Structure 1
Amino acid sequence: MSLPRRLAAPAVLTLFLVAVFVPFLSLLSASIQPAGTPLTGLEAPHGLHLENFGTAWSKAGFGRLLLSSGLVAVAVVPASVLFATLAGYALATMEVPGGRKIFGYLLLGLALPAEVTVIPLYYDLRALGLTDTRYGLALVEIAAFMPFGTFWMRSHFATMPTGLIEAARLDGATSWSTLWRILLPNSRPAVTTLGVLYFVWCWNQFLLPLILIQDPARRTAPAGLGYFTGEYNVDIPSLAAATLIVIAPVVAIYLFFQRHFIRGVLDGALKG
C-alpha cells in the first residue's frame, strides 16, 4: 500500500476529530470565563470561574428541567425500543398481512418533517387533554421514533441467519420464544445502538416540548435552555455553562455505551 493511502485514513480521522473537538473546547473555555465577558471565538480562559455553572443551575432551574427530561426519556426510550423491536421482528420474519404496505407507510414517516405535524399534534392533544403533560409528549415522541426504529430492527432481523429461526420452529419454539431466547441475545449491539439513538433524540427534542408543553414546571432541559438563552443572551459564559449542563447526560450515556454503539453501527454497515 502506498504512503498516501496509508496516511489518508489518519488524516480524515484527524480532520473529524478537530471538527468535533474545537467547538467543544471553545464552549468549555467560554463557560469558565468571567461572567459577562464578551467572547467572539476560542479564547484562553482568564481564571477558573466555575460559579457560572452555579448561576446557570439556579437561574434556569436545571434541577427541575433535567428531572423532567429524565422522566420523559425513561418513558420514551424503553417503550420505543420495545415497540420497534416487535414491529421489526414481525415484518422481517412473519407473513404479516399487508406487511409491505405497512412498512412503506412507516418509511414515509422518515420523510415527514416534525415541523409539519407539530401544529395538528397540538390540537389533537389539546382535544384529549394531554397538552402540558409529560404523558402527551412521551406518546408523541414514541410515535415519531417508530419509523426509524422499525426500519432499523427489521433490517437487523432480516440479515440474521434463517437457520436459527427454522431450527427454533422445528424444536417447537413459539414466535415469542424465538425472539426473546434466540434472536435478542444475538441482537444486543443493535438494540443498544437504537436505545442510545433514541435517548439522544429524546433528550435533544426542542420543538415538540416547546409547543406541546407551555407549563414552566414541566419543560424539558433543551426547552428551558431556549428560554434561558432569551433571557441571558449577552452573558456568553453563563450560556456556555448552561449548554454544558444540558449536554452532559448525552455525553455520559454515549461514553457508557460507546462500545455497543460502535459495534452496532459497524454491524449494520457491514450487513447492509
Structure 2
Amino acid sequence: MIIARREAWTGRLLLVLLMAVTILPFLSLFVTALHPSGTYPVGLAWPSDPQWGNFVTAFQAANMSELLKSSVLIVLGVVPISILLGTMAGFALGHLRMAGSRLVFLLFVLGLTLPFEGVITPLYYQIRDMGLLNTRWAIILPLIGLFMPFSVFWMRAHFVNMPGELSESARIDGANVWQLFRRIHVPLAMPAISSLGILLFLWTWNQFLLAIVLVDDPVKRTMSGALGAFQGQWGTDIPLLCAGSLLILTPTLVIFLIFQRRFVTALLQGSVKG
C-alpha cells in the first residue's frame, strides 16, 4: 500500500513538472507580449500597464486575416486528399492483402524516414519547372506526397486488425470491393480517420520550411511560414513579436484542445495497433 501511494505521488509530481515545462514558455510569451512596444522585458515580471493593444497591432501588421484565409485554403487542399488517398491505400494494403502489398508497404515505411530537409532542394527545382513557385500549390502538392507514408502507415494499422469474417459476410450478401470499403470499413475506421485528420491539420498549419522556401509572398504562406517575414519586419520589437507568435499559435492550440478527447479515443481504440 505504501509503495502504491509513493508511485502515485511520484506520477503526479512528474505530471506537474511536465505541465510546468510545457506552460512556462507560453506564459513567458504572453507576459512579454503585454509590455510596451519597443522595450526589452526580462523574466516573467507582469507589466505595470499591460498593453493589450499589442495583439491588435500584431494582427494588423502581420495581415492575419489574409494569413488565416491562406492557411485554411492550404489545409483544405492537403488534409482531405491525404486522408482519402491514405485510407484507400491503407485498406488495400492492410485488409485486401493484394499481391506485393508487403513490398509496397515497406516502401511507404522507408518514406517515413525521409526528412523534409533532405528533399527541399530537388523539390524547389521541380516546383520551379512546373511553374508553381510562389503559389499555394507549391505547398499543397508536396505536402500531400510527403504526408502519404504516414497516412498509409496509420490507416493500414487500423485495417490490418479488422476481422476478415466481416468482409466475407458482406461479400456473401453481394457487396463488391467499393461497397465493402465505403459502407462497412470507412464507418468503422472513423476514429482512426478523425485522429489522422487532426494530425495532418496540425502539421499542415504549422508547416514552416516549405512555405518559406517555395513561396515568396507571405500572404500565400501558412501562418507559421509567415512568421519568418513577420520576424524580419518586427524582430527588434520583442513584445510585438511575441504577440504575433501567440496569435499564430492560437488556432492550433484551440483545435487540439477541442479534439484532444477524440484523438485519445482513437489511440485507445487501436488505430495504431499492429
The one of 75, 78, 81 aligned to 1:79: 81
Out of 26, 29, 43, which is 1:27 matched to?
29
- Gap regions ≥5 residues in structure 1: none
How far residue 163 of structure 1 moved from its aligned partner, in angstroms, is 2.4
Q: 1:269: Cα distance to partner?
A: 7.5
Report the counterpart of residue 91 of structure 2 in structure 1.
89
Shift of 1:231: 2.2
Match of 1:184 in 2: 186
Instruction: Report 1:29-68 matches (<5 A).
Output: 29-68=31-70
Sequence identity percentage: 43
Secondary structure of the corresponding residue to residue 112 of structure 2: helix
Flag as ranges the 4+ runs of structure 1 deviating above 4 A: none
Find the aligned partners of 2:110 and 2:256 in 1 and give their Cα distance: 29
State the Cα deviation string for residues 127-181 of structure 1 (Å, max 9, x = none): 1111111123101100010000100000011122332222222222122222222
Amino acid at match of 2:225: A
Matched residues, number: 272
Q: Output the amino acid matched with 2:249.
A: I
Contact 2:138 2:215 (C-alpha < 8 Å) held by counterparts: no
Conservation of the 8 A alpha-carbon contact between 1:76 and 1:202:
yes
2:152 corresponds in structure 1 to 150
Q: Following the alignment from structure 1 to structure 2, what is the Cα–Cα distance between the partners of residues 127 and 167? A: 50
- Deviation of residue 15 (structure 1)? 2.1
Q: Which has the higher mean CA deviation after the structures are superposed, 168-177 or 110-119?
A: 168-177
| Partner Cα distance (1:107, 1:90) in 2 | 15
- CA, structure 1 residues 31+212, in 2 after alignment: closer, same or farther (shift >3 Å)? same
Structure 1 length-normalised TM: 0.94
Q: Does residue 1:139 correspond to 2:145, yes or no?
A: no
Alpha-carbon distance in 1 for matches of 2:121, 2:56: 36
Distance 1:46 1:82, change over 3 A: farther
The letter for the 2-side match of 1:137 is I
Match for 1:261: what amino acid? F
Larger mean Cα displacement after TM superposition, 128-137 or 204-213: 128-137
Deviations 1:25-83 (A, max 9, x none): 11111222221221243222333311111211122212212211111011101111111
Partner of 2:119: 117
Task: Kindly report the root-mean-square deviation, in angstroms, between the aligned alpha carbons of the 2 structures.
Answer: 1.7
Q: 1:238 to 1:93 in 2, by over 3 A?
A: same
| Bigger Cα displacement from structure 2, 239-248 vs 209-218 | 209-218
Match of 1:271, SS state, is: coil
The answer on whether the counterparts of 1:209 and 1:220 sit within 8 Å (CA) in structure 2 is yes
Asked if structure 2 preserves the Cα contact closer than 8 Å seen for 1:34 and 1:46, the reply is no
**Matched residues in 1 for 2:241 and 2:166: separation?**
53
TM, length-normalised to structure 2: 0.93
In 2, the alpha carbon distance for the partners of 1:213 and 1:26 equals 31
Q: Helix, strand or coil: the match of 1:3? A: helix
- 2:206 is aligned to 204
Contact 1:56 / 1:238 at 8 angstroms: preserved in 2?
yes
Q: Distance in 2 between matches of 1:120 and 1:9?
A: 47
- The aligned residue for residue 170 of structure 1 is 172
Question: Which residue number in structure 2 is paired with residue 246 of structure 1?
Answer: 248
Distance 1:269 1:47, change over 3 A: farther
> Secondary structure at 1:180's aligned position in 2?
helix
Match of 2:239 among 222, 237, 240: 237
Gaps of 5+ in 2: none
Question: Quick check: 1:26–1:43 contact (8 Å CA) kept in 2?
Answer: no
